[in-house]
Amino acid sequence: MMQRATVLLLLALLTLTVRPAAADLVVVAGPKSGVERLTQKEVVYLFMGRWRQLPSGIPALPIDLAIDSPERAEFYRRLVNKEPAEIKAYWSRLVFSGGSLPPYTTEGREGLIRLVSNNPGAIGYLERNQVDSRLRIVFEFPATP
pLDDT per residue over 45-93, tens digit each?
999 999 999 999 999 999 999 999 999 999 999 999 999 999 999 999 9
Pick the residue with more confidence: 145 or 48? Answer: 48
Question: Are 122 and 19 in contact, with CB atoms under 8 Å apart?
Answer: no
pTM: 0.82
Beta-bridge partner residues of 104? 63
Q: Structural domains in the chain? A: 24-140 (3.40.190.10)
pLDDT confidence band for 145 (50 / 70 / 90): low
Q: pLDDT tens digit string along 95-137?
A: 988 878 999 999 899 999 999 999 999 999 999 999 999 999 9
